[in-house]
Amino acid sequence: METTTLTEAELKEEIVKAIKRVYDPEIPVDVYELGLIYDLKIFPVNNVYVSMTLTSPSCPSAGTLPGEVEQRIREVEGVNDVSLELTFDPPYTTEMMSEEARLELGFM
């Protein structure tokens, strides 16, 4: 079986697709479109770093959402390791949502 090596851009695209399968349980929009992903980097040997936040520090899904994002990224073929950092700086605001998410939620 031949394995194809993805370019960094292709791998990042696959990782974003994986993240977009994770939804905030209280809002019908994925965490990527909500703007909860602050940073996404791919380091040599396909080690992935993600910095993310939650809609609020008291978010009921605080215990599960970061783990779900990390698990989805680990499932992407070619990913070696994942380091996920949860931060509340800067604090989340609805301005961080994509236009698509704001439309979906009636903010526009």
* 91 occurs within a structural domain: yes
Q: How far apart are CA 73 and CA 52, in angstroms?
A: 13
* 90 occurs within a structural domain: yes
Q: In Å, how far from its chain's centre is CA 27?
A: 15
* 1 occurs within a structural domain: no
Ordered per-residue pLDDT tens for the chain, 108 residues: 445 678 899 999 999 999 999 998 888 899 999 999 999 999 999 999 999 999 888 877 777 899 999 999 999 999 999 999 999 999 999 899 999 999 988 887
pLDDT of residue 2: 43
pLDDT of residue 43: 95
Closest listed residue to residue 19, CA positions, set 89, 85, 56, 68: 68
Q: How far apart are CA 25 and CA 13, in angstroms?
A: 24
Q: How many domains does the chain have?
A: 1
Q: By CB neighbour count within 10 A (0-12 exposed, 13-18 middle, 19+ buried), where does 40 fall?
A: middle
Residues 6+ apart with CB under 8 A from 9: none
Look up the CATH number of the domain holding residue 48. 3.30.300.130
Range of the domain at 26: 8-100
pLDDT of residue 4: 61
pLDDT of residue 17: 98
* 56 occurs within a structural domain: yes
| pTM exceeds cut of 0.75 | yes
